[in-house]
A and B are shown apart, each in its own frame.
Chain A
Amino acid sequence: MTCQELDARLDDWVDGLLPPREAAEVEAHLAGCAACREAERRLRRVVAHAGALPRAVTPPRDLWPGIQQRIAAPARWGWLSRWTSPLVLAAAAVGVLAVAAVVWQGRQPAGVQTAEIPAASPAPQPVSAEGGSLDPELEAAVRDYQAAANALFAALQQRQQSRAIAPSDLARVQANLLVIDKAIAEVRAALVRDPANPELNRMLVATHRKKVDVLRRVVRLSTAL
């Protein structure tokens, strides 16, 4: 074994990872080579010192207040009053949508009213991923909900075109979706300002989920009529 070959095996030798035959070769080389013995001694010294370093070190200052400030900061709604907080808006929007769906259930079958939705009717805008970045995992969950909501809304529009839904009902759904989208936008804006707030994280996901749930229910009801 040459000194170069030994150098390539020295780490495994010191770590006790060499198979017996190679270990014997290294041992034999070390017995006759002072330079390699010195290299081994220096390596063992480094490894021993590293292993003896404390695995726990106290930070020079208490880091908890900074963490607490970031994770437990009360939601900063700023200009939003108690009655227009995203939570209230979201709850109201979901409630209105649910009521709309119930009222709709009792209406006469589709095809009775044939007027188109006026062109000026506000269409619900999907909440875009713009307007500040969120945690990637949260962003991915939001994208999934948005895709589901968009697909459901497209299904509703198709039903409107095939006269399966009264235009006035679809307009009412659209109006309510605008309210819930506004709530989503508000929660999102608050999250961009305060990304660590777990309540806001939960609220954003819950509001998206509710929107999809209600849309799904409306589509199901329109199919049943």
Chain B
Amino acid sequence: MEALAGAVLGEATIRTGTDEDRRAVERRLVRDAQQGDVHAFERLYRDNERKVFALCLRMTCDAALAEELTQEVFVRAWRKLATFRGESAFSSWLYPMAVNLALTERRSRRRRDARIVATEDPARLEAAPPAPRPEQGFDLEKALGTLPPGARAVFVLHDVEGRTHEEIATLLSLAPGTSKAQLHRARRLLREVLEP
């Protein structure tokens, strides 16, 4: 038992050391990037691109838009890099930027699309996105696309990213109660879509 505890403790120590090393490397990369070192910034990008892309993809349910947004997040990060003080992980600093960008871009795109559609076929504005067909199985990624953007954002942040309602409320400028209500709505809609 003691040996097991020692092994676990040893592993934890190594993990902590590794995390510290990683943070130290990240701090150095941030410092270099703040001095204008593009290669250092590329390393930061490589370390974080997959998480940012995943978040953008699920917030928008549009792969092409998620690519654009991921690029935009890092371009903005580069421009605002001087304001990053290194008190948190670089990814924590990127996160709100990605969330807000995904939400605002999605919103403005929706408005643009609505204007275009309105001139052609007003009925389309009322139509909900097509639900996945039963034969497609339990495809949660696809089902996310059927959710209203606000409910989807809260669902992604809470159930996929593991954020609390308090964190979501801060990120999205909502009351925690609104976050809970949106989550309830999203889960109910997903249940209906995935297992009609």
Measured CB to CB, the residues of A under 8 A from B are 11, 39, 42-43, 45-47, 49-51, 53-61, 63-64, 66-68, 70-72, 135, 137, 195-196, 198-199, 201
Q: Given A68-B38, A71-B78, A47–B67 Cβ distance below 8 Å?
A: no
CA of A42 to CA of B75, assembled, Å: 41
Query: B39-66 interface mask toward A, CB cutoff 8 Å, 1 = contact, 0 = none?
Result: 0011001100111011001100001001
| B42 x A43 contact (CB < 8 A) | no
Residues of A within 8 A of B58 (CB): 53
Q: Given A50-B155, A59-B70, A67-B75, A137–B80 Cβ distance below 8 Å?
A: yes
CA of A58 to CA of B74, assembled, Å: 15
| A42 x B191 contact (CB < 8 A) | yes
| A45 x B71 contact (CB < 8 A) | no
| A198 x B36 contact (CB < 8 A) | yes
Measured CB to CB, the residues of B under 8 A from A are 36, 38, 41-42, 45-46, 49-51, 53-54, 57-58, 63, 66-67, 70-71, 74-75, 78-81, 83, 138, 140-141, 155, 159-162, 180, 183-184, 187, 190-191, 194-195
| B79 x A56 contact (CB < 8 A) | no
Residues of A within 8 A of B70 (CB): 59, 63
| A57 x B57 contact (CB < 8 A) | yes
CA of A68 to CA of B45, assembled, Å: 10
CB-based closest 7 A-B pairs: A56-B50, A50-B159, A57-B54, A71-B78, A42-B191, A49-B140, A59-B53
Max chain B C-beta neighbours (<10 A), residue from A11, A51, A57, A135: A57
Max chain B C-beta neighbours (<10 A), residue from A43, A50, A137, A195: A50
Residues of A within 8 A of B191 (CB): 39, 42-43, 46
CA of A135 to CA of B187, assembled, Å: 38
Residues of B within 8 A of A46 (CB): 140, 159, 187, 190-191, 194
Which of A43, A45, A55, A59 sits near B161, CB closer than 8 Å? Answer: A55
| B50 x A57 contact (CB < 8 A) | yes
| A11 x B184 contact (CB < 8 A) | yes
Residues of A within 8 A of B74 (CB): 63, 67, 71
Residues of B within 8 A of A201 (CB): 79
Can you name 7 A-B residue pairings with CB atoms under 8 Å? A45-B195, A50-B140, A51-B160, A67-B45, A67-B71, A67-B78, A70-B71
| B78 x A196 contact (CB < 8 A) | yes
Max chain B C-beta neighbours (<10 A), residue from A42, A51, A135, A199: A42
Q: Given A11-B187, A68-B42, A55–B51 Cβ distance below 8 Å?
A: yes
Q: Closest residue to B45 on the A side, CB-wise?
A: A64
| A63 x B67 contact (CB < 8 A) | yes
| A199 x B36 contact (CB < 8 A) | yes
The minimal Cβ–Cβ distance linking B23 to chain A, given in whole angstroms, is 19
Q: Closest residue to A54 on the B side, CB-wise?
A: B54
